[in-house]
Amino acid sequence: MTTVIEVSGLTKRYRDAVGVDDVSFRVEADTITGLLGRNGAGKTTVMSILTAQNFATSGDVRIFGENPYENPRVLSRMCFVRESQKYPDDAQPRHAFGAARLFFPRWDQSLADRLIDELQIPLKRTIKKLSRGQLSAVGVVIGLASRAEITFFDEPYLGLDAVARQIFYDRLIEDYSEHPRTIVLSSHLIDEVANLLEKVLVLDRGRVIMDEETDAIRGRAATVVGDAAAIDAFCKGRTVIHREDLGRMASVTVLGALSAADRRALADARLDVSPVSLQELIVRTTQNAQQTPAAHLQEGALR
Amino acid sequence: MIDDGRALFLQIAESVEDQIVDGSLAEESRAPSTNELAAFHRINPATAAKGISMLVDKGVLYKQRGIGMFVSPGARRQLLAERRTAFADRFVEPLLAEARTLGLGPDDLTDLIRERAAAAARSPERTAR
């Protein structure tokens, strides 16, 4: 596989805060990566530095092996759909699409037309007067129809209803299958996009706390429910990332894949097991990282 | 079907296996392509491809260059044997565990199963529901 994005030691410092703190990761060509994390974790900052719309304080960024700053060879191959994209005051969606068509060498007008129709975007209204959802839809059309070799979607679905979001996901899979390219998608709706992601990169307070294949994360943790004493026995020697007690019952989320022997032991002890969704696992991990600032170092299992 | 906590590609492979086992996907017929699976289950095509290639490695599917994936002859029998073992792990083991706590031995269980199977055979509308 070819690495198309290579980030090492990326740091963005503001006057009295650190937005991105010594972040390193790689993205391989033709994959869909989820950039996940809480608000303010640094997702947008990382994406805007990668697309040369913001400056790093220190660290190194390579896109297609080159520095992206003022580098048209690299910039014309990338598309960044910002959550808060600004357009000129009197611009209408048809102007935005016209400009995108000129800028992106691989632009597909028939795909754009189809999406405009499906997402019901009014072409001749000024963008300023569009609803939040319609504004997001304009970004979705540009991001997909650009067919850019690397496309960044930053919370592309804000204001989109469930139907429009499903259209976005379906068209993304469809078009990506036929025209493989690199997609980086930031999202709060983790479970909604989990099945689209090949890799997951989780940022927390400017740091990378998870960088893994989605399939490897699945089954990484399980929730066990039942008699508290039996649970204590089962949890001995395991990493517990969450626990809730109710009388003599306990519900505990443990790290580590369960073996067949584990499952038999659980059945014998009459404990119920349920899978942990990607969203839940990330929430728990993020909480853990925040309770103990050095947790990301101790919990090697999660890295 | 999707999301019982196991790797997604395994679940995709299993969904194809299900169709072979229940006969809706006949041996020597064309299996769904990676892109068809990705679109149907709304998953990353790479994940679907991983599921397909697992089935090829197992000998359940075979590739015909330029045409696509096909179900291997003998795939159904192979899968049924595999499912039998999985069935024992998944259902018989917990059944035995629960039976032990009730003081029921294997012979008691056999009797119970015969009894219920006979009752079900007498009133088929109950099983149909």
Whether residue B129 is predicted with pLDDT greater than 50 in this model: the reply is: no
pLDDT recorded at residue A283: 84
Mean pLDDT in residue range B18-25: 93
B-chain residue closest to A169, CA distance: B42
Which of A177, A263, A279 to probe by mutation at the B interface, max B CB count within 10 Å?
Answer: A177
pLDDT recorded at residue B74: 94
The CATH architecture to which A3-216 belongs is 3-Layer(aba) Sandwich (3.40)
- Give the largest Cα separation in chain A, rounded: 69
Q: Are A8 and A208 in contact (CB under 8 A)?
A: no
Q: What is the mean pLDDT of chain A?
A: 90
CA distance B64 to chain A (A): 20
| Helix ranges, A119-201 (H) | 132-145, 162-178, 190-193
What digits encode the pLDDT tens for the residues A158-210?
889 999 999 999 999 999 999 999 999 998 888 889 889 999 999 999 999 99
A98 contact B CB<8A: no
Mean pLDDT in residue range A254-266: 85
Domain borders along chain A are 3-216, 219-302
Residue contact B89–A170, C-beta within 8 A: no
Rg (Cα) of chain B, in Å, rounded?
A: 19
* Prediction ipTM score: 0.71
Residues of B in contact with A222 (CB under 8 A): 5
At residue A299 the predicted structure's pLDDT band, cuts being 50, 70 and 90, is very low
Beta bridge partners of A213: A199
Mean pLDDT in residue range A22-31: 96
Which residues of A, range 225-284, sit inside 8 Å of B by Cβ?
260, 264, 267-268, 270, 274-277
pLDDT recorded at residue A261: 84
Residues of A in contact with B50 (CB under 8 A): 215
Residue contact B6–A219, C-beta within 8 A: yes
Q: Fill in the DSSP letter of residue A6.
A: E
- Specify whether the backbone of A278 is left (phi greater than 0), alpha (psi in -120 to 50) or beta: alpha
CA distance B100 to chain A (A): 10
At residue B122 the predicted structure's pLDDT band, cuts being 50, 70 and 90, is confident
The CATH architecture to which A219-302 belongs is 2-Layer Sandwich (3.30)
